[in-house]
Structures are given as C-alpha cells and as structure tokens.
Amino acid sequence: MLKRIIFLWLLLLASAAIADDHVHEFKLANGLKVLVQEDHRSPVVVSQVWYRAGSIDEYNGTTGVAHVLEHMMFKGTKKVPAGQFSRIVAAAGGRENAFTSRDYTVYFQQLEKSKLPLSMKLEADRMANLNMSDSEYAKEIQVVMEERRWRTEDKPQAQVGEQLMSTVFEVHPYGRPVIGWMNDLEQMTAQDARDWYQRWYAPNNATLVVVGDVDPQQVFKLAQKYFGPLKAHKLVKRKQQAEPEQKGERRAVVKAPAKLPYLAMAYHVPSLRDPEKDWEPYALEILSGVLDGNASSRLSRNLVRRDRIAVDVSSGYDAVNRGPSLFEFDGTPSEGTSVEDLELAIRSEIENLKENGVTEDELQRVKAQVIAADVYKRDSMFYQAMQIGMMESTGLSWKALAEYPKHLQAVTAEQVQAVARKYLVDGQLTVATLDPQPVDESKPKHKEMQHAH
C-alpha cells in the first residue's frame, strides 16, 4: 500500500517534468533517470540502459576493464544463471547486445512491445545482483583477447588509429584503447571487474531510455516497479583529467603487414559543453560537412576526383563527448603518391579554408543535409534512443537535441572560417602513418607490436 502511494506521488512529479512533446523524463528516488519517447509506427520497443562509465574512467594497468565487465554482465546473477540472460531475451523474440565506448557502457534489447517488462526485470536484476564466478571470468577474458586480436592486432589501420590516440593524448584516458592494452587484459583479474561493477553499476549512475510503441506513464510505472527497489550508491567523485597543452607537432609510425600506406591526422578542438551558448562546436560540425559531407565535398572532390592523390580521404568531428574532442583526417594515398604528399595536400586544403573560407553554396548544401537527416533519423527507433542516451550520458541533456539542428542552421561562413583558423594549426597537429611491411617476410605478430610508443 505504501508503495502505491509513493508511486502516485512520483507520477505527479513526472508529469511536471515533461518539457518536450517527444521525450518524457522521469527520475526515481534512487536516482535512475528514465527517458521515454513514443513512436507508434510499429508494435515494438527498444530499451537501453546507459551507465556513465567508460574507458575514460579507467586507470593505467587495468585498461579495458569497462569493456570486460560489459562481457561479464551476461555471465549470471543468482536468479538468472550464466548464459540465461540471452536465452530468455531470445525466447521472447528479442534482440539484445551491449557496447562500451570511451564515455559510457550501454545494454539494449529490441522487443515486441508487450515484452518490455521482461527487459526491465532482467536489467534491474543485473544492475544490482551480478554474480561473477572466477571460472566464467577465466573463459570470458579469453574471448575479449580474441576480440582485441580481431579488432586491432590484425588490422593495420586500427593499429594506426590506436597509435594516433595514444600520441595525441599523453595523459588523458582517451589515449588508451577502449578494448584495453593486451598486456592489461592478460594481467586482469575477476576482482578488477568486480571492483568496477561495485564502483559504477548503480541506479544513480544510469539512464534508462525507452523508445517505441509505449505509453510513457506505463513505462514509468514499470521502471518504478523493477528498478525502484534498487539502492543508490555513493559515487566516487570523478576527477577531471585535462590533457596538458600540446606544444608542437607530434608524429608516430606503425609498421604492419599491408600493401598500402595510410595516414591519420588529428587536431585538438573543443567539445560541446553549453549547447545554448557555445557556437564553435556547431561551426566545427559544419566545417566537417563542407570537407566531407557528401561524395563531392572538398576533400573527395579535390584530392580523390580532381588531383587523384588519394584513393580515399575523409574527415570527422564529434562534438558530443565527456572528454576533449578532435578534428580528424584520414586517407590512403594513390599508387605513386606518398603519405607525405597526401598530408601536404590535406594541409593545403586546410590553408585554403583558412585563407578563403567556404562558399555560400557549400554552407547551404551542408544545412540541407542537416534538415533531411533530422527527418530520416525518425525511421530508426534505435538511433533515436542512441541520441537521447548519448546526450544524457555525456553530461548534456536530451533537451539539447530539439535545438541542435537550429544551432547548426545558424552557423555562418565567417564562423566556419574562424574555427578553422583558430584550431587547425600546426602546433596542435598529430600525425600517425602506416608503413606497410611485406606479408610473407614478417613473422607471426607478437603483442609487443602494440607498445611501439
């Protein structure tokens, strides 16, 4: 009876919290935030639990533990023994998986809408009751090492990516791979994973995002029922780690069996922090669109199609991060062209931008794509849930999503030129290249290759 009264009171709070037509926000007494977006086009639902814990929260020596724990989350609680989580979801017709990033760890199910309570029941159970055995850990850490071999050790371009990050960030945890260094995985223990779980897996460090053919009030009720009884943890205070200012260009080379060389470049740029007041991150996004928004944006048009210096070339910027951002370029030189030539060509595109800015046509083209993308995203419930969870888990808010396209629309040509001038400067550049080695002459690879720097 008491439960019911509390529950009604929470519902009242919830309706007061509605600030947008699309996303309904609700917070349980234990700190779990619940965000619901209705989408009635199909009788299905996607449910995601976002933990604000990723590789950014790791320490040296146990890199990769966030991701290892993600694997272990499928290895059983007292009520749901190892292997049963996936079987129960599968038997309900569901699809499920999980992923770990630098900033967060996410668990999700996609189900026919009537199965949502099952998903919540299972997620609430493993949020608090994970029962990790040493024997399950011993097997799963082998799986994770196989994953690392598959993703990185045998992929020359992935190695360059890893090398680039560890050169750009000498101090900040973004310098370490999400999957962890092989040596750390070899040294890791089940207790490391348990400690991680104890530290970060709590309702007050999580967000539940539900998108689908649901009634938000019903979802709140279910969340209260399943997650409500869980206790909040006292969370350790996170210490912000800032990367010391880079004072001069940095370079790294990776040798690996491959045919073609490969080039990756990164400049330090700001992340979005105040969605209302910041303008530079929006200008950087538009800049990224001008350089690489479609098949005939500047980089492709000039370096691939016109000058034929590159087989392919691209650029990218991601404004939404808990940590610092980068503006990145990468590409493969054409036959007879070196990585040095390609780097020069990219840098001359950057100089041209700084000197002459962007045309009105280019600006309008990128903005037309922004408007369309905002419509197209509605065809994917999963993607919409991802956007909501990502904004919340990086310390922004889903509320910033509605205005996001408008902020991009407001960017001027002068602002694009200004961010290029301010941030794409030589002293802030890091370059990593692949020096291809003949396949037949190289020996079987050893783990030491990962520790070139």
Position among 312, 351, 403, 414 found at the interface with another protein (CB under 8 A): 312
Judged by CB under 8 A, the residue of 11, 235, 252, 260 near another protein is 260
- Residue 246 has a CB neighbour count (10 Å cut-off) of 17
C-alpha torsion angle, residues 52, 55, 60, 63 (rounded to 10): 120
Query: Exactly one of 11, 98, 402, 418 binds another protein (CB under 8 A); which one?
Result: 98
- Shortest reach from residue 306's CB to another protein, in Å: 9
Please return the burial class of 421, using the count of CB atoms within 10 Å of its CB with bins 0-12, 13-18 and 19+: middle
What are the CB-based long-range contacts (under 8 Å, 24+) for 442-451? 442/257, 445/153, 445/154, 445/256, 445/257, 447/153, 447/182, 447/183, 447/186, 449/153, 449/159, 449/256, 450/152, 450/153, 450/159, 450/162, 450/181, 450/182, 450/183, 451/181, 451/183
Helix (H, G, I), strand (E, B) or coil at 79: coil
Nearer residue to another protein within complex by CB, 279 or 383:
383
Q: Which long-range contacts (CB under 8 A, 24 or more apart) does 386-392 make?
A: 386/48, 388/23, 388/35, 388/37, 388/209, 388/211, 389/35, 389/48, 389/50, 389/104, 389/106, 389/207, 389/209, 390/104, 390/320, 391/320, 392/33, 392/35, 392/50, 392/207, 392/209
Per CB under 8 A, the segment of 11-19, 279-287, 339-347, 438-446 that binds another protein is 438-446
Q: How far is the CB of 88 from another protein (least distance, A)?
A: 10
48 binds another protein (CB under 8 A): no
Which stretch, 126-134, 140-148, 233-241, 345-353, contacts another protein (CB under 8 A)?
140-148
Note whether 139 binds another protein by CB under 8 A. yes
Please enumerate in sequence order all residues whose Cβ is within 8 A of that of 156, keeping only pairs 6 or more positions apart, or say none: 254, 256, 257, 258, 262, 434, 436
Of 206 and 230, nearer to another protein (C-beta) is: 206
Site string for another protein, 165-184 (x = CB under 8 A): -------------xx-----
> With contact defined as beta carbons under 8 Å apart, do 393 and 103 qualify?
yes
Tell me which stretch binds another protein (CB under 8 A): 168-176, 230-238, 315-323, 332-340. Answer: 332-340
**Closest distance to another protein from the beta carbon of 181 (Å):** 14
Strands, DSSP E only, in 19-62?
23-27, 33-38, 44-51
Q: Are 127 and 73 in contact (CB under 8 A)?
A: no
Out of 149, 172, 250, 347, point to the residue binding another protein (CB under 8 A): 149
Chain position carrying tokens 């890199």: 63
Contacts (CB under 8 A) with another protein, residues 372-401:
372-373, 375-376, 378-381
Evaluate whether 414 touches 283 at the Cβ level (below 8 Å).
no
The DSSP bridge partners found for residue 100 are 105
Report the distance separating Cα 339 and Cα 326, nearest Å.
Answer: 21
Between 160 and 396, name the residue whose CB sits nearer to another protein: 160
If the CB atoms of residues 9 and 376 are measured against another protein, the closer one turns out to be 376
The verdict on 451 binding another protein (CB under 8 A) reads no
CB of 95 to another protein, least distance (A): 6
Q: Provide the minimum distance between the beta carbon of 252 and another protein in the complex, in angstroms, as a whole number.
A: 21
Based on its alpha-carbon atoms, the radius of gyration of the chain, rounded to whole angstroms, reads 24
Chosen residue from 241, 352, 359, 364 binding another protein by CB under 8 A: 364
153 annotated active-site: no
Query: Is the Cβ–Cβ distance between 240 and 324 less than 8 Å?
Result: no
By beta-carbon proximity to another protein, the closer residue of 7 and 383 is 383
Between 101 and 204, whose beta carbon lies closer to another protein?
Answer: 101
Residue 153 near another protein by CB under 8 A:
yes
How many residues of this chain interact with another protein, rule: CB under 8 A?
A: 79
Contact set for another protein, span 26-45 (CB under 8 A): 41-44
Per-residue x/- track, 54-93, another protein (CB under 8 A): -------------x--xx--x--------x--xx--xxxx
Tell which one of 28, 111, 254, 350 touches another protein (CB under 8 A): 111
Q: Which is nearer to another protein, 31 or 117 (CB)?
A: 117
Candidates 249, 442, 451, 453: give the one binding another protein (CB under 8 A): 442
Distance CA 352, CA 361 (A): 16
Q: Which is nearer to another protein, 340 or 379 (CB)?
A: 379
Q: Where in 290-309 is the site for another protein (CB under 8 A)? A: 293-296, 301, 304-305, 308
Quick one: which H or E segment has residue 347? helix 339-356
Instruction: Name which of 256 and 396 has its Cβ closer to another protein.
Output: 256
From the list 25, 58, 70, 162, the catalytic residue is 70
Residues taking part in catalysis: 70
